[in-house]
Amino acid sequence: MTLTELNRSFAMKPAVHFLRSAGRDDDPYDLVGRVKSKEALEAMGADCYEKSVIYKDAAYDVIEGFIGEPLPP
């Protein structure tokens, strides 16, 4: 993707945005509000299923999308 206003190009990667901890009041791994690439989730050992991510002993509601990695000019 290229943003002509910034004269910058980005490689788009699948990612998720953590909305809330599911089934509990706390966020034991401080993930709510963060965006993680699918690659990063695999490295963490997290499991993705539809609109949820399971990390260790916690479940999170997420929105799937993309993250842009800047390419060299």
The DSSP call for residue 31 is: -
Q: Indicate the SS3 state at residue 39.
A: helix
- Given a cut of 70, the residues of the chain with pLDDT beneath it are none
Q: What is the pLDDT of residue 9?
A: 95
Q: What is the pLDDT of residue 73?
A: 81
* Reported pTM: 0.86
Q: What is the pLDDT of residue 23?
A: 87
Helices assigned H by DSSP within the chain: 38-44
Residues sharing a CB contact under 8 Å with residue 56, sequence separation 6 or more, in sequence order = 28, 29, 45
